Amino acid sequence: MSTRLDHGDDELTENHEINVTPFIDVMLVLLIIFMVAAPLATVDVPVNLPGSNAQPQVKPPQPVYLTLQADLTLSLGDTPITQEALAEVLDGATEGNKEEVIFLRADETVNYGDLMALMNRLRRAGYLKLALVGLETAAP
């Protein structure tokens, strides 16, 4: 940037001040974008999870959440799926990687037999690595 200090001369001098107004405008736009996008990145399937006092494990960058709700309906992430389409939908979500960990969320009112039936269906589909998800509670 340059400014003309004397009005009679055509020579321009340099201005050594930084104009931060465009930088602040860009930062405010980015802040608004992140504030709008952050709630969209969460899973919104309502489920009443039981508590656990086990040590939390490190999550992979993009975990695959399979949810078994109280009415025995399944959801992969936020998308409802049928029991019959479970294997092919999981193959699509994991890109055929049978070694990927499936995070299984089940409502605490789900019968143990129904949970085991779902785990057996996952085993038949070739997904042997399961992680059960629960709420963190204080140790007794």
Q: Where are the domains positioned within the chain?
A: 64-133
C-beta of residue 47 within 8 angstroms of C-beta of residue 107: yes
Q: In angstroms, how far is CA 19 from the centroid of its own chain? A: 38
Confidence of residue 118 (pLDDT cuts 50, 70, 90): very high
Name the pairing type of β-strands 130-133 and 2-3: unpaired
Phi and psi at 70, nearest 5°, equal -60, -30
Whether the predicted pLDDT of 13 surpasses 90? no
Say what the pLDDT of residue 133 is. 87
pLDDT higher for 139 or 123? 123
- Overall pTM surpassing 0.85 (yes/no): no
Pull the structure tokens for residue 42: 């969460």
Pull the structure tokens for residue 104: 């299984």
Whether the predicted pLDDT of 9 surpasses 70? no
Say what the pLDDT of residue 88 is. 92
Which numeric CATH code is attached to 64-133?
3.30.420.270
